[in-house]
Amino acid sequence: MKIINTETWSRKKHYEFFKAFDAPHFNVTASVDVTKLHTHAKRTGQSFFKLFLYGAVKTANAIPELRYRIRGDEVIEHDVVHPSFTVMMDDDVFNFCTATYKDTFPDFMEEVTARMSGAKREVVVGDEPDSLLYITSVPWVTFTSISHPTHDQQHDTVPRIAWGKFTETGGRMTMPLSVQAHHALVDGVHVGRYYELLQAWLDDLSDLEVQTPEEKGLDEAIRLRENGELERAKQLLLMLLRQDEKNPRLHAHCAWCYDSLGEERQAVPHYERAIRLGLAGEELRETYIGLGSTYRALGRYEDAEALFAKAIEQFPDIGALKVFQAMTHYNLGRHTEATGTLLELLASPEPDDSIKRYRRAIAFYARNLDETYD
């Protein structure tokens, strides 16, 4: 902690002006794009709240003005500020939970998880130090503004940060984020800087990429599968699934192993589970292709048609999905639709990389359109 010399401080006049206000706080609410973080949370099975909490507090610590506090007649700057956030308990009652900020993500997660566990045992409401950030989430509302209660407003200089419910538009996930601060210490430029740095963190997330043993095992299984060691890859994935049966990525890669080994029926439940568990991004797209193609190869044409229709709605620009859908239309006797789709793809001025990736499989099925495989 250090004391700011207000006599030589560049914002001395602003500080004295706003400090005299009866209500000196201001609040900014804007949306942040959390698409990548939301996908990361789903992929890794981690709490979105804890992940975003880490980013919100890490970013706040990077803005000196959000670490300034008025203490008596002095302005002090904390070296680090810590999150004090709300935890929902039974009977719609919340508790306050304070954690010590840790700069590294694994240490932060360990600290927050332990503190939250303790907070759920006993409600504690009372005075807290000013080296905090007051944080809350309102996941039921996509709010456009929010206000916070303050005590002794002229001297309450702890910033308030709140976020709300997701909104999905055009495949992107956004979320309202509010920052409330004391205008004697913080200006709009500082809050704007906070949003910029937080969005940069949300678009990067490199400090979250700490591999768990399961993730290391998955990387090894992928390496084995790409090297053609399919049986070893499958056995490793099955072992990992016994430890983490709700991991959608493990199910997807296990399904691909079964499929490549010609064990289509065993692949199906893993494909289906991967989708139900919230697989996202490119792996979801490839799983749709794998499951739809397997349905078709097993003679489950109606299931394949329904799946491809759903997949194309989510990934309308992926030509491979349309090719496999056209094969399914052929098997269902809908020859005009099948031919029309393929002619449209053939007439497209731009080559489709997804079709290139599945060239060998498409060529094989082209010679065996009426065959089914058990």
- What would the pLDDT profile of 198-226 be if each residue is shown by its tens digit? 999 999 998 887 656 677 788 899 999 99
Q: How confident is the model over 163-175, as pLDDT tens digits?
A: 999 999 888 999 9
Q: Which two tokens stand for residue 203?
A: 């678009």
Q: What is the pLDDT of residue 152?
A: 74
Q: What is the pLDDT of residue 349?
A: 81
Mean per-residue pLDDT, 330-346:
93
Q: What is the pLDDT of residue 309?
A: 95
Give residue 161's pLDDT band: very low, low, confident or very high (50, 70, 90): very high
Q: What is the pLDDT of residue 121?
A: 65
**Closest residue by Cα to residue 294 from 261, 316, 249:** 261
Task: Report whether 274 contacts 241 (CB < 8 A).
Answer: no
Q: What is the pLDDT of residue 127?
A: 67
Give residue 357's pLDDT band: very low, low, confident or very high (50, 70, 90): confident
pLDDT surpasses 90 at 63: yes
pLDDT surpasses 80 at 153: no
Give residue 351's pLDDT band: very low, low, confident or very high (50, 70, 90): confident
Q: What is the pLDDT of residue 206?
A: 87
Give residue 122's pLDDT band: very low, low, confident or very high (50, 70, 90): low
Task: Report whether 161 contacts 177 (CB < 8 A).
Answer: yes
Mean per-residue pLDDT, 265-290:
93
Q: What are phi and psi of 83, to 5 degrees?
A: -80, 135
Q: What is the pLDDT of residue 44?
A: 78
Q: How confident is the model over 1-18, as pLDDT tens digits?
A: 999 999 999 999 999 999
Whether this prediction's pTM lies above 0.75 is answered by no
pLDDT surpasses 80 at 91: no
Mean per-residue pLDDT, 279-293:
92
Residues 6+ apart with CB under 8 A from 28: 178, 179, 180, 188, 191, 195
**Residue ranges of E strands in the chain:** 2-4, 25-33, 68-71, 74-77, 82-88, 94-98, 132-137, 160-163, 167-169, 172-182
* Whole-number percent of the chain with pLDDT over 90: 71
Residues 6+ apart with CB under 8 A from 210: 105, 106
Q: What is the pLDDT of residue 14?
A: 94
pLDDT surpasses 80 at 120: no
Give residue 53's pLDDT band: very low, low, confident or very high (50, 70, 90): very high
Give the SS3 label for residue 133.
Answer: strand
Specify the higher pLDDT residue, 31 or 373.
31
